């Protein structure tokens, strides 16, 4: 039996990954650590845990670990800014580690974690879930088979979705780059990673452009209130939180706003907490749209676009090769191959369940299999993941300082 502990038992650490543990007869959740007492109470009701192994601080968690190593694996899914201190301590114990991305919002900390993890003889994985999602695994398979020849250029788009951006990057945990990390790192280290995975070459240079243009006080409608529930536009504004978490696309994030399941509890949270604030009056500092041009080895060029202004949350990609082109969209889970001089085209429909197009489940399955001895399942170890993060730091440097950045690997 693989005993698992979760540090940071929120939307990712518990909601996304615990379902796999619950379904796997050879894994068991034995401990949770979270600063949110309401969240811990919710987990107490859902999981039969020994009270001795439920912690409201990492200090208490590590004191217990110093007395006895009570788990075989630890999932770290705390706030970004807490990753470094927590992970460096966890790496002192003989346990397997699954670390939520980004590794850290600090460049040096990312490199330090990677270097320390490389000295361990246990599994260390970063949650770059796209590598484990069926759609992206199929794209990689087709590219490796040479279906479109040699890759020459790629257009890749991450469409955050207007409602997702408002929830997570205007009102939510990742709204302020100084308190968490830049948008390109927090949201799109996934995308830098999947580009590296597909191309199999190193980046040489990049140029980035991006702005916070819309979610600002200057764009607030005349006469709007600071909170949605007090606002005359609450029934017409597309970013209104009035019904968003109860009868709209935000229902999946209902438990992020509050663990109180009642309507009264939700209304209280929207009246007092960050998720009820007008999107034009938040303390957000991250870009709401960004574009990056990247030059890879062997003359491969990539244009990546990241935007809040899309109707749905999805990624779409066009990969152009010497023999044809590949077009894919994770909203439809379809891949189309069009080969030059051929009148027909081939479309693949990929089946995907669970979060991130099956990536959450695939990641946990790979983690389990790697712990059991199949290290080939690890597609997002330290070295692979650091490279994507360094690309993001370079992109932010380019954006802020309005310059092209020559990329240099630093691990």
| Burial tier of 282 (Cβ tally within 10 Å: 0-12, 13-18, 19+) | buried
Quick: pLDDT tens for 47-77.
999 999 999 999 999 999 999 999 999 999 9
Question: Residue 157 in 3-state DSSP?
Answer: strand
% residues pLDDT > 90 (the chain): 78
Contact 196, 294 (CB under 8 A): no
Backbone angles phi, psi at 60, to 5 degrees: -70, -35
Residue 14 per-residue DSSP state: I
Asked whether this chain's domains 2-128 and 131-215+284-355+381-406 adopt the same fold, the reply is: no
At residue 306's C-alpha, the angle toward residues 156 and 258, to 5°, is: 125
Q: Where are the beta strands (DSSP E) in 133-178?
A: 151-159
Q: For the whole prediction, is pTM greater than 0.85?
A: yes
Phi-psi label, residue 244: left if phi above 0, alpha if psi -120 to 50, beta otherwise: alpha
Quick: pLDDT tens for 86-141.
999 999 999 999 999 999 989 999 999 999 998 788 999 999 999 999 999 999 99
At residue 161's C-alpha, the angle toward residues 156 and 164, to 5°, is: 125
Position 58 scores a pLDDT of 96
Question: Residue 283 in 3-state DSSP?
Answer: coil
CATH class of residue range 131-215+284-355+381-406: alpha beta
* Domains in the chain: boundaries: 2-128, 131-215+284-355+381-406, 221-276
At residue 220's C-alpha, the angle toward residues 216 and 226, to 5°, is: 95
- CB atoms near residue 185 (< 10 Å): 28
Q: Six-digit token pair at 382?
A: 């330290």
What is the Cα 232 distance to its own chain's centre?
35
CA 344/CA 281 separation, integer angstroms:
52
Domain 2-128 has CATH 3.40.50.720: yes
Position 311 scores a pLDDT of 95
Q: Where are the beta strands (DSSP E) in 139-288?
A: 151-159, 203-211
% residues pLDDT > 70 (the chain): 98
CA 59/CA 38 separation, integer angstroms:
19
User: Which H or E element spans position 63?
Assistant: helix 58-67
Position 301 scores a pLDDT of 98
Quick: pLDDT tens for 194-208.
999 999 999 999 999
Question: Residue 33 in 3-state DSSP?
Answer: strand
Name residues whose C-beta falls within 8 Å of residue 1's C-beta, 6 or more positions apart in sequence: 26, 27, 28
Position 143 scores a pLDDT of 98
Backbone angles phi, psi at 338, to 5 degrees: -120, 115
Angle between helices 183-199 and 134-144 (to 10 degrees): 40
Position 91 scores a pLDDT of 95
Give whole-number Cα distances, 358 to 17, 176, 310, 314, 355, in Å.
12, 29, 22, 14, 6
Question: Residue 406 in 3-state DSSP?
Answer: strand
Question: What is the chain's Cα-based Rg?
Answer: 22
């Amino acid at each position: 039996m693989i005993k698992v502990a979760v540090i940071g038992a929120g939307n990712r650490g518990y909601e996304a990954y615990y379902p796999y543990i619950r379904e796997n007869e050879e894994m068991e959740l034995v401990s949770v650590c979270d600063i949110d007492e309401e969240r811990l109470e919710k987990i107490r009701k859902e999981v039969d845990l020994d009270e001795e192994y439920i912690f409201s601080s990492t200090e208490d968690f590590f004191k217990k670990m110093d007395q006895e190593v009570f788990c075989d694996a630890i999932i770290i899914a705390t706030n970004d800014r807490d990753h470094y201190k927590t992970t460096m301590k966890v790496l002192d114990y003989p346990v397997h580690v699954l670390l939520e991305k980004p590794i850290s919002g600090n460049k040096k900390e990312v490199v330090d974690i990677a270097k320390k993890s490389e000295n361990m003889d246990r599994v260390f994985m970063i949650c770059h879930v796209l590598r484990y999602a069926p759609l992206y695994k199929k794209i990689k398979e087709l590219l490796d088979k040479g279906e479109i020849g040699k890759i020459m250029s790629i257009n890749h788009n991450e469409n955050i979705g207007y409602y997702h951006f408002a929830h997570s990057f205007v009102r939510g945990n990742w709204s302020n780059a100084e308190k968490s990390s830049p948008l390109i790192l927090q949201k799109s280290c996934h995308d830098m990673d999947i580009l590296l995975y597909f191309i199999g070459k190193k980046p040489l240079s990049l140029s980035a452009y991006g702005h916070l243009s819309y979610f600002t006080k200057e764009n607030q409608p005349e006469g709007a209130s600071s909170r949605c529930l007090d606002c005359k536009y609450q029934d017409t504004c597309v970013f209104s939180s009035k019904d968003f978490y109860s009868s709209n696309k935000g229902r999946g994030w209902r438990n992020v706003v509050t663990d109180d399941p009642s309507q009264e509890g939700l209304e209280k949270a929207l009246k007092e907490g960050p998720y009820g604030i007008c999107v034009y009056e938040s303390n957000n500092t991250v870009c709401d749209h960004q574009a990056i041009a990247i030059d890879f080895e062997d003359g491969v060029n990539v244009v990546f676009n990241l935007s809040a202004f899309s109707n749905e949350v999805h990624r779409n990609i066009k990969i152009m090769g010497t023999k044809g082109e590949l077009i894919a969209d994770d909203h439809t889970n379809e891949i189309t191959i069009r080969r030059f001089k051929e009148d027909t085209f081939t479309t693949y429909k990929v089946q995907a369940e669970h979060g991130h197009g099956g990536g959450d489940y695939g990641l946990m399955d790979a983690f389990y299999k790697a712990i059991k001895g199949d290290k080939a399942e690890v597609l997002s170890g330290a070295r692979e993941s650091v490279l994507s993060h360094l690309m993001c730091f370079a992109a932010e440097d380019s954006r802020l300082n309005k310059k092209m950045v020559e990329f240099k690997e630093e691990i």
